[in-house]
A and B are shown apart, each in its own frame.
Chain A
Amino acid sequence: MSTSLAAAPAATSRRRAPEPPKRTAAERWKRRGPLLPALLITILLTQLPLLGTLYYSLRSQNLLRPETNGFAGLSNYATVLGDEYFRAAVVNTLVLTASTVVLSMALGIAFAVLLDKKFLGRGVVRTLLITPFLVMPAAAALLWKHAMFNPLFGMLNWLLSVFGVDKIDWVSQFPMPSIVLMLTWQWTPFMMLIVLAGLQSQSTEILEAARVDGAGAWATFRRITLPHLRRFIELAILLGSIFVVQTFDPIFLITQGGPGQATTNLPFLIYQTTFRAFEVGEAAAAGVIVVVGTIVIATFALRVISSLFQEET
């Protein structure tokens, strides 16, 4: 083309983006200055407690025996990791979290698929289904303890009596399933909302294409909808796990970690170590271990979230 002649001299000096203008130090601080208060508050609120916990986790610190206080190295960590109660609490936490998350996810998907259809009174049903998530955890725990689980006047027994089932003392006979049941009730709406968002972001033309291609309802769900939902489900499971690991209110209010250690999970064990045994150092060490565990999970969660935004064009 004729442009090649004119373009020739320009080609030797390659075009590149202009350098950003240099700023003096004073100018830079003038820009950053107004942000400092917010930064300081954030550091104060989030990092100081963590540093405090780290500090205590390295000390022998019992509120009842102040004379033994002093630097203890990693011995708190050794004690905690060697403690069979701690290991039992880890197992309980895993069982509690895994069953709650799996059950509430299964129910959440079912309800989300239902709510994705048009039917009379959908708005009301949706609000009702979300309600458990909005009730304060402590209030929900009390509600379940008395109104649902009570062996004499609880609704669960009343419901089962219709089928001729004898009275069950839920909390003493089935402590872990009871807590899981209550938590599943509480977390199903969270799972449902995320899955529903996934369902509603699906293109209707793709679903129609599947119908024309001869896929039935089940094949469409399994081959088209589930792969689309995968990211949403992963995200919901990871976020849900992080929250459920921290469950405290229902354990404290319904079972007190019992009977025996049957429902003692990590947060409740840390609470007991601090406020029943006053072993601040050991509690701090356990807390640090939980934080590290949670950070590992959260890192995966964040990865999923960021990949969610790169998905599908």
Chain B
Amino acid sequence: MATVSYQQATRFYPGADAPAVDGLDIDIADGEFLVLVGPSGCGKSTSLRMLAGLEDVDEGTIRIGDRDVTGLAPGKRDVAMVFQSYALYPHMSVAENMGFALEMAKVPKDERIRRVREAARILDLESYLDRKPKALSGGQRQRVAMGRAIVREPQAFLMDEPLSNLDAKLRVSTRSQIAELQRRLGVTTVYVTHDQVEAMTMGDRVAVLKDGVLQQCDTPLGLYRRPANAFVAGFIGSPAMNIREFTVTDGHARIGELDVPLSRATHTQLAREDSDRVLLGFRPESVELVGPTEGYPVAVRLVEELGADTYLYGSVIGAAELNGPDIVARIAVDHTPSIGDTVHLRVRPGQEHAFSPVTGVRLE
């Protein structure tokens, strides 16, 4: 077990005009579960493969513990990887698959058998040890891939979307099993996913990437409460945060009939950028229903009743700035309006987020 750190790690694919990963800086603590998340093509897999040694590091360094592993072969880094396709060796039995790395490391045979047994017990694979991978279900194959990683007792686990080939229900249960297993083993883990729910539920910390650039690395709650920029704000949380651009006059953002005051800090930062506009956002769950004289009148266009929650989709009446996509609000189940109704909504004070319209950076 060890710390892992990316220091200005950069990867250019030959022929591409922009780096796939650009100056990545992350320090991962010993035993930490770090999730790399972002939209497809943002460089998550590339970052992970750089750590595994499967992809060259063109600039910067990668360290595992106190070793600089930047130029080291994958087999010498003492990391175990779980692939999206599991990449099980098709002609080897489950036991041989799990024992292969130990065999390559010349671990004595009885030690090898003991460790494979132990991993199979943890993962509930004991009765499948003699089967070939093609005689296993998807979930069992996934567990074998996990087993292949844990028998090695490596410095770090690397996982690239290990749940994306499972059906939705199995994905949820396996998600918690992996997180629980990682806590129990205490092995530093870097986990790649494009699914922000997976990221938020599994990670000690979550690193959000976009176009190869790290946007923010924080605890799940930190990301949720204080997104560092408009991209993170829109990416984390489901349904996504409502973000719109407004004109600023006299230190207020004018929305429909009402002025929304902006904090002094926000105001000075906007002034520094010489901008008379601001991005304001609020989460669907930061909204509450209020009486007819308060808040904003909203024409309800769609109601989604999920049982536990109800989501409203609608447009604010009399606010031209809010035209375009509907705003989304979560309301209590017992106050569900019908489509076509007008309701009054208010954002709970202190739960709005302001971002610079130029750089997208969070304003306090």
Interface residues of chain A, those whose CB is within 8 Å of chain B, are 203, 205-206, 208-216, 219, 223-224, 227-228, 312-313
Contacts and interface: CB of A to CB of B under 8 A. Distances in A.
Nearest to B54: A208
Contacts of A219: 104
A286 to B, nearest CB: 42
Interface in B58-96: 73-76, 79-81, 83-85, 87-91
Contacts of B88: 206, 209
Given A211-B73, A212-B81, A223 B134 contact: no
Contact of A228 (B75, B84, B90, B101): B90
B308 interface: no
Contact of A212 (B74, B84, B105, B134): B74
Contacts of A211: 53-54, 73-75
A271 B88 CA distance: 53
Contacts of B224: none
A205 B53 CA distance: 13
A228 B91 contact: yes
6 contacts: A208-B74, A209-B81, A211-B74, A214-B104, A216-B75, A312-B134
Nearest to B132: A312
A228 to B, nearest CB: 7
| Most chain A CB within a 10 A radius of its CB, from B52, B76, B80, B90 | B90
B313 interface: no
A313 B91 contact: no
A208 B75 contact: no
Contacts of B85: 203, 205
Contacts of A228: 90-91
B20 to A, nearest CB: 17
- Could you tell me the dominant secondary structure of chain A's interface residues? helix
B75 A215 contact: yes
A66 B52 CA distance: 82
Given A211-B75, A212-B74, A312-B90, A205 B83 contact: yes
B231 interface: no
A211 B74 CA distance: 6
A214 B87 contact: no
Contact of A208 (B87, B100, B101, B134): B87
Nearest to A215: B104
Nearest to A311: B90
Given A208-B83, A209-B81, A214 B134 contact: no
B83 A214 contact: no
A212 B90 CA distance: 17
B52 A213 contact: no
Contacts of B83: 205, 208-209
B100 A215 contact: yes
Contacts of B81: 208-209, 212
A212 B104 contact: no
A213 B90 contact: no
B75 A213 contact: yes
A210 B101 CA distance: 8
A70 B364 CA distance: 112
A312 B83 CA distance: 18
B52 A212 contact: yes
A202 to B, nearest CB: 10
A111 B80 CA distance: 33
A224 B74 CA distance: 17
Contacts of B91: 227-228
Interface in B147-162: 148, 152
